Amino acid sequence: MQRSPRRAARPQQILTGVPAAPGIVIGPAYVYTAGALSVEPHPIPASRVEEEVQRFLAAVDQTKDQIRQIRRQVEDQIDLAHGAIFESHLRVLEDPLLIDHTVDEIRRDRLNAEFVFHRNLQKIGTLLAKIRDQHFRERDADLFDVGKGVAHNLMGQVRQHFANLQRDVVVVAHELSPTDTAQMGQSSILGFVCATGGPTSHTAIMAKALELPAVLGIGDECDTIAAGDLVVVDGNEGRVIVNPSAENLALYRRARMRVVRSRRDMAKLRDLPAETTDGYRITVAANIELPQEVDQVIANGAQGVGLFRTEFLFLNATVAPDEETQTRVYSDVARRLRPRPVIFRTIDLGGDKFLSAPSVGEELNPFLGLRAIRLCLDQRDVFMTQLRAILRASARGAVHVMLPLISSIEEVREARAMFDQARTDLLSEGVPIAEQVPFGIMIETPSAALTADALAREVDFFSIGTNDLIQYTLAVDRVNEKVAHLYQPLHPAVLRLMRVSVEAAHREGIWCGVCGEMAADPDMTPILLGMGVDELSMSAPAIPRVKQAIRRLSLAECQQIYEDIAAKVTVRETRGAVKRQTRRLARESQPRVRP
């Protein structure tokens, strides 16, 4: 249900969360509660079991139709890439293993369809929670979004939406699904605040696409916001101010006007080179997950794709995708982006995914288990199929291949031998492939960084995955709220490992990029440039802001900034130095559009 707005004179509160979509908005709170669905088990008489099965299948078909309608709406309102978000919803409902298993359990247990289906989704959600990549852990929100749709249809209920709002509001909710967010674009919603969610969730992606400033993950403090409270949403800093003081209200109104002007400036910068004031150029590329995101890559002025996540083909599959299926997908992406390069990262999942072929069972510590390159070298038929498909795609565009989670030179040599064998086999079969396909690795573990000098002699490029490098260096799970404060990108150990990797790459004449979240943070841009990084790869919408930061700076001052920060020995010192540099650059630099 939805609670009607009411005003209350209450003291100022400042809440912090995850900055999910940039921008600043100010408006009254609209407290939204989706309402808990009852999915309690109810026995079904034997004589009505088949009727219950048909009721379930009809609800699945009805939910599919509704998802397709939402997808078309998003495609019309935004673009095909964001409409493709709802493909994952459809894949859940088109997975024969899930649907057939639910039907079998309805018949076996003689329980109501709502309960059995929800129980199976919970099992899948538990598997997703074990995947080390936050990007995939956050997909359980999509699963339960689908579950709500099916449950509503089974119970004959209509899902709540925002189309009938009569005034501009800031939505405050415990959680919002991608379906909820997709319907905001046609309503009077200024932005939103959620207790749950992360920066790579589909809800966050939709918020960015709809240009709705959003802060997620503020926790239980979300419940302290009352309907009608005046709320400032700062999607740049991840800050929510409830009932702001007169001084803060004036401050944020001025900041909002600066954001509007900055967006205009960034639109002009989008298609200009990422070049410093003293003429140094760096490559700025995009990270993508789906082929439909290619249009967004081009629209934001990316010079290529620095990370194409191939996992979407495997995540919801009951069997590994065959060579032809993968070749079609990779070839289409390479063709559409040609002559821009595309770096395809090989499978970066563990045995605890939905892929039945390489299942390895339960692991006590999946973060440190049979994952990524380890799984590929264990399941060589799956890995060889993917290598062949990527090589075949090289005939259609500038293709690179990249291995994740490397921890030893032996892994690189084994994978390289398979890559060379796939190349030899394809040539002997008369299959056209590019003469040169660069072969690189991700630096995500301390062992890889500390042996980067030897690794650099084995490959054509490095890409530093800062998200995992930070986690493995500091022994911190960044999605574990109890230790999340220890996840520090500016920890001196992390910066030193990154610098070691860059220097080792350059000594051997290869390039080194960064493709983690640090690459998308303009405050980190001078540090990465000063460190000598050759490429920054990030989500496509972040590119204009980073390019703006690059064009404000000189390489000489970036090198000095890095040296100053590298001399620090504590996180507090490095963070303080970055804040001082950020304030100085904000004062001294203005966005400049150069031809």
Residues with catalytic function: 202, 515
Sign of the Cα torsion 68, 336, 305, 345 reads: positive
CA-to-CA distance for 64 and 56, rounded, in angstroms? Answer: 12
Asked if residue 491 lies in contact with residue 474, where contact means CB atoms within 8 angstroms, the answer is yes
Asked if residue 232 lies in contact with residue 244, where contact means CB atoms within 8 angstroms, the answer is yes
415: which residues sit within 8 A by CB, 6+ positions away? Answer: 373, 376, 377, 383, 403
373 Rama class: left (phi>0) / alpha (psi -120 to 50) / beta = alpha
* Residue 173 φ then ψ, to 5°: -150, 155
Asked if residue 381 lies in contact with residue 442, where contact means CB atoms within 8 angstroms, the answer is no
Q: Hey, is 84 helix, strand or coil?
A: helix
| DSSP letter string, 268-309 | HHTTS--B-TTS-B-EEEEEESSGGGHHHHHHTT-SSEEEEE
Residue matched to tokens 């101010």: 241
Burial bucket for residue 503 (CB in 10 Å: 0-12, 13-18, 19+): middle
| Angle, helix 113-129 to helix 49-77, in steps of 10 degrees | 50
Torsion of CA 540, 441, 317, 142, to 10 degrees: -40
CA-to-CA distance for 508 and 497, rounded, in angstroms? Answer: 17
| Angle, helix 492-507 to helix 466-474, in steps of 10 degrees | 130
Pairing of the two strands 283-288 and 511-514: unpaired
Pairing of the two strands 214-216 and 439-443: unpaired
Lookup: tokens for 184: 């905001």
Q: Hey, is 400 helix, strand or coil?
A: strand
| Bond before 339 cis per omega within 30 degrees | yes
CA-to-CA distance for 98 and 100, rounded, in angstroms? Answer: 6
* Residue 477 φ then ψ, to 5°: -90, 110
CA-to-CA distance for 55 and 415, rounded, in angstroms? Answer: 49
Lookup: tokens for 482: 């109890």
Sign of the Cα torsion 392, 396, 400, 402 reads: negative
| DSSP letter string, 218-274 | -GGGGGGPPTT-EEEEETTTTEEEES--HHHHHHHHHHHHHHHHHHHHHHHHTTS--
Pairing of the two strands 535-539 and 398-403: unpaired
**CA proximity to 388, closest of 443, 354, 346:** 346
